[in-house]
Structure 1
């Protein structure tokens, strides 16, 4: 038997809006590939159900086959990180219910051929296509992808004309829209448990994703002022990943998200923190954790410098304001078991 692992982290998507996380993995030897008739039967009805006639290229069989995917699906939006060895097949079943699919390639390559021609997607590129029309596809070995599927009707609601879906769309990671989309998807991943508990939040996330993809296809500049909460979540995700960067500030964050600095500040206007207040609070938390982890082995000045406080005195004031004690006094209480 093949080494297959399919695990539902949370129960599947339902009409009530309940979310679902999933993980799936395959690890097949050359003998297993040759022996089994329907290797990909588990994909039928799952998050990759738009793929049909899937097969492993003959020249790649000798290397075996590995596949792994993990992600979230809710409100008919699916976002998954995928590892895949060489694969071919058809994407789309000539069905109006088939989704719009966006593939971001971080390593390896993808190639799609449809009625309007062939698109090759290299590392650092995103491809969007409508699978209501079938596409022949090839996936290169050891490909790493971020795959998003969204209902066709959700995207059409944001498009002036469905003609934008007639061809595949390829864009580089450096464009503002792609940067925003990738940070937004990271925010979805970080917020998956909270999204599971909120049907309105799931709808907002799905609608925002559809809006971003539609603007890419329409060639319109990105404008996320209608989705301030989504911008905030994407910003939080970027801040968390870059909290140790000395230049972390609104211009850098806005550029990474693909929005203007003004849009970024307006998005934070109704939250408890400004952009830089959030950065300072996250850095103070990192410094707090650093203090408890290193104890007295590292001085307060070194911790302050590591987390980009202007000087030790400023760090001590900020720490005392948030935790009620100076770093030294707080550490003593922690080591004496007075804090939990």
Structure 2
């Protein structure tokens, strides 16, 4: 759902609300007139039985004046990437403001209002769970979105968002249960590293972290395990479950980034520069690894790209 696209602003809030109601079978809260008058929001929502997950980005600010029909006892997780999300807990005792880089996990005592600053991006997960309810009675848990437990949860949630349309009923049920288990880990500040359902999430979280630190000379499976607060054995088991190894993934991604750099024109880096930047011990080592992966040396690959580019340039007829 996207009311930020060209032409969508004219249809605005009513079109967004109708799509939300018809596709999710849920009702939106009552919004302030200022919100509905300038409603520029992008959202992607999925429902799995009693669990709903929403990725939302509000270009405009959002403020409610009447709560949605939320259910008391519902477990709600808010992970904010930018901006701020303020929630009234409905008790009269105040509420919570979740700023960028933070999360809030709470049990809903009674429905309340919320407000989002302009340009707020957040992931919201809501579910009924008898497993989680005893952990959150009368309290909310806040912390850093970069914690190991939230990293794992977000990696799994993003995989679910991407793959849900291709999952059958059993797969969707398993994905939902793994998500609940990861929310439990966020509540406890740890997760069960022997739980096999969590292996794909752990492997994906490690990949996400590796992707952000590919040029770091300290990047290694040991660093990934340390950052994700798991043992090396647990990390190795997670990668084995998805048919890979952490070292192989790091090597593949570094080579792929080096390959892409060779397509840059006209400022292609030299082989020695690529080898140093992507943490290969020397140029010879880099050349051998590149040829094994792509069937050509870096120089041969760059020449082939250059020839293809020359052929693609239209010739001027005099």
Shorter-chain TM-score: what band? 0.7 to 0.9
How far off its partner does 1:312 sit? Answer: 0.8
Aligned partner of 1:65 among 26, 38, 50: 38
Whole-angstrom distance in 2 between the partners of 1:326 and 1:26:
46
Figure out how many residues of one structure are paired with residues of the other and give that number: 295
> Are 2:64 and 2:114, in contact at CA under 8 Å, matched by a contact in 1?
yes
**Structure 1 position 176 matched with structure 2 position 151:** no
> Are 1:91 and 1:134, in contact at CA under 8 Å, matched by a contact in 2?
no
Whole-angstrom distance in 2 between the partners of 1:180 and 1:255:
13
Whole-angstrom distance in 1 between the partners of 2:278 and 2:44:
32
> Are 2:149 and 2:189, in contact at CA under 8 Å, matched by a contact in 1?
no
Q: Deviations over 1:137-160 (max 9, x none)?
A: 2314215132233431xx32x34x
Whole-angstrom distance in 2 between the partners of 1:316 and 1:290:
14
Alignment-derived partner of residue 172 in structure 2: 202
Q: Counting strand residues as a fraction of each chain, which structure ranks higher?
A: 1
**Structure 1 position 136 matched with structure 2 position 112:** yes
What CA RMSD, in Å, does the superposition of the two structures yield over aligned residues?
A: 3.5
Alignment-derived partner of residue 185 in structure 2: 215
> Are 1:99 and 1:130, in contact at CA under 8 Å, matched by a contact in 2?
yes
**Structure 1 position 288 matched with structure 2 position 259:** yes
Gaps of 5+ in 2: 309-318
Gaps of 5+ in 1: 1-22
Taking a change above 3 Å as real, the CA distance of residues 79 and 201 of structure 1, as seen in their structure-2 partners, is: farther
Alignment-derived partner of residue 110 in structure 1: 86
How far off its partner does 1:56 sit? Answer: 4.6
Q: What's the secondary structure of 1:80's corresponding residue?
A: strand
Q: Deviations over 1:150-192 (max 9, x none)?
A: 431xx32x34x54635544333325332233234334445xx1
Whole-angstrom distance in 1 between the partners of 2:16 and 2:45:
23
Q: Counting helix residues as a fraction of each chain, which structure ranks higher?
A: 2
Alignment TM-score, normalising by the size of structure 1: 0.72
Alignment TM-score, normalising by the size of structure 2: 0.76
Whole-angstrom distance in 1 between the partners of 2:19 and 2:177:
29
> Are 1:186 and 1:237, in contact at CA under 8 Å, matched by a contact in 2?
no
Whole-angstrom distance in 1 between the partners of 2:44 and 2:70:
26
Aligned partner of 2:283 among 284, 301, 312: 312
